[in-house]
Amino acid sequence: MVIGLIFILIGALFLISIIAPEFSINFSYIFPLILIAASLYYIIKGRKFTLANTIVLYLGIWFLLDELNIIRGEFSNAFFPLILIIIGIFIIIESLKVKKVFKRKDDNLKNYYGIFSGLEERVTDSSFKGANVYSIFGGVDLDLRNLESKGDITINAYSIFGGTSIFVNDNLNVKLNSFALFGGNENKTLSSDKKKSNTLTINGISIFGGTEIK
């Protein structure tokens, strides 16, 4: 809604400048203000800073300061270094979170690799407790639809410039712990039902890649 109102405001300003040319509008300030407003809207709405909205906020502030001629001299070369610093800070913060989430008691997990290639694996062994899935410049399809599990399952999915697809049946509660950088993790299964006895926990790290639970 807010984004729509911003577009309406921009259109109205352009229209005014056409109808009444004497009404001077400096449009060079509008684009940075749009970036700032949009990023603040999503920060407030989501009640957190993400890498995307932080970079958009940074771009808006930088462009606005540049238009106001506040950024001068040597500091004008700091644009890209500051972006790298912002990305680095987010990677460190998220990696610390991921370390806490990815701690597991069971190290006897199977490994599936889709590295510069594709792998399709169907799991039916009822003693299956979990796996580490590596999709690196490739993909892994892990099919659990015919699995009758006798306990909880943990899957750690690492999708780096690749994609992981995990197919599950209706007998499992699915819990997704997600970290994504220029990628995404998505749980497309039905909402969890506490009456289901076993839980499938998927820890997804996606960097320029993605993990889907279907």
The model's pLDDT over 147-159, given as tens digits with 9 standing for 90+, comes to 887 788 899 998 8
Domain boundary among 67, 82, 101: 101
Note whether 141 and 167 are within 8 A (CB): yes
Could you tell me the residue range of the domain that residue 61 belongs to? 2-101
Q: Are residues 124 and 161 in the same domain?
A: yes
Domain boundary among 101, 118, 145: 101
Q: What is the mean pLDDT of the chain?
A: 79
pLDDT tens digits, one per residue of 7-31:
676 677 667 667 766 666 666 777 7
Q: List the one residue out of 182, 176, 183 whose CA is nearest residue 204.
A: 176
159 residue type, one letter: S
pTM over 0.75: no
Counting the structural domains of the chain, the total is: 2
pLDDT tens digits, one per residue of 102-139:
554 455 788 899 988 889 999 988 788 889 999 988 99
Q: List the one residue out of 95, 89, 72 whose CA is nearest residue 207.
A: 95
Q: Are residues 60 and 43 in the same domain?
A: yes
Higher pLDDT, 156 or 88: 156
Percent of the chain at pLDDT > 70 equals 78
Q: Are residues 48 and 132 in the same domain?
A: no
Q: What tokens appear for 161 in the block?
A: 């410039």
CA distance 211 to 162: 9
CA 103 to each of CA 12, 164, 204, 210: distance values in angstroms, whole numbers, following the listed order: 54, 21, 13, 21
Name the H helices within 20-141: 30-46, 51-67, 79-101
Q: Are residues 58 and 143 in the same domain?
A: no
CA distance 204 to 102: 9
